Structure 1
Amino acid sequence: MKYYLKFTLFIVVLLALWEVLVRLLNVDSYTLPAPSAIASAFVTAFPDYKDDLIPTVLLVLEGLGMSIVFGVMMAVILHLVPALEPFIYPLLVVSQNVPVIVIAPLLVIWFGFGLLPKLIVITLVCFFPVTVSLLEGFKSVDKDLKKYMLISGASRMQIFRKLEWPGSMPFLFNGLKIAGTYSVMGAIISEWLGSDKGLGKYMIIAQRAFQVDRVFVAIVWIVIFALIIFGVIRFLEKLTVRWKHD
């Protein structure tokens, strides 16, 4: 609890300092609006952006779900068929070194302006932490327990189901926390590709109109969504991996 109080105090001090400096230095609102101006726009501009919130939320949930399925599936395949790891794992690493903003226009050319290219963008951004964390979890199980199960005649799939999969859950949730926060950013980038609704579209319109305060309003909502997703994943972790917290 003290951690969150300290963090809240730090944010309050940071915003107060931001407000004071903007006023003392007479910074133009087109360059950097004060926190008070952003808070005002957050409320007064709500009728303008309220219809953009739900499409972004749905896109985040769909993209995150697809990322989790793909990430878990890839980790399981590489673990159960280790002969594939030297060939596939480097490709997964390379996929994270190519800027998504460069690939995004190509996805539009290949798949059009529909939902699919947006989901692919979010998956490219989010799946890697899930895959890497889960693979690390599979390799970090108790070696003595694994030997005992082998001696007891357990099959490869029995070891996986009863030891490796449950034992890797803390690692999986660590990856999910990272992927969950990245998913909002991935959704915004995908909406930049071309979308009728969404916070990404709203940001572009506000930026072109030099309404910097509204750009910051979109950023605030992005942070809120990311924190909510992180909190939900952490709550599910406490429910699922009770023995870790005990």
Structure 2
Amino acid sequence: MFVWTEDKKRWYKDALAYTGFANKVAAHLKEYIGSTDSVVDLGCGLGTIDLLLAPYVKSIVANDISKIALNDLHQEIKKKKVSNITIHHGDWESLEDEMADVAITTFFGSLEKDGEKLFSKCRDRLLLVKRNSLVDYASLPKGIGHLALAMDEEKWLKDRKIPYECSIFEAEFGQPLIDKEDCLNYLESYKMDIKDEAICDFVERAKLKTQDQGYQYYLPNRKEIRVLCICKKDIK
């Protein structure tokens, strides 16, 4: 399970600012959400997507179990004077059923494991944001492991003959890092053996030829992203 720390929060924010990844995800989510919709974001993390969606929806409940992440979101809500985001701290399963028109999960949960519970949280639509490509460094020794991919979720839906809509796009969500120490700390945080030869070679390749925006290293991560939209009425 991903656990937020101050370092992980900094790395994540740096990656968002460097790549503009969240803006692309939010743009595709907006295709399936209307201005009168209430939304619940399950496992919202820092709530970056919610802040981007807030002007285009009626209301958002941003849920996560991490106080570190939600405290950061609370500060952003105050700073940006956002009035339609409510924060919920706790396990997403503790949320009341059918509490919003639309439920969103971003790189979180799986239909095979959590399908019934995920659908219970929305009245109308479930939106899943999933990737198909693994991060470039996941194949390295002691990588971050397997998360449910879009292909897994689509197979689950097709096996049950459940119709869905799908928006597909590619986006870069790599990690900029200040220096070599920062790079090694980042990889170690994902349980990688930084003394392994393959990882040492990878780190050397990640060094930028010239410093960019204060960063000396960059770990590339090109993702194919799929936004899956499933209507609750189609679940039998």
Higher relative contact order (CA 8 A, sep 6+): 1
Higher helix proportion: 1
TM-score by length of 1: 0.19
**Larger radius of gyration between Structure 1 and Structure 2:** 1
Q: What TM-score does the superposition give when structure 2 sets the normalisation length? A: 0.19
Greater per-residue strand proportion: 2
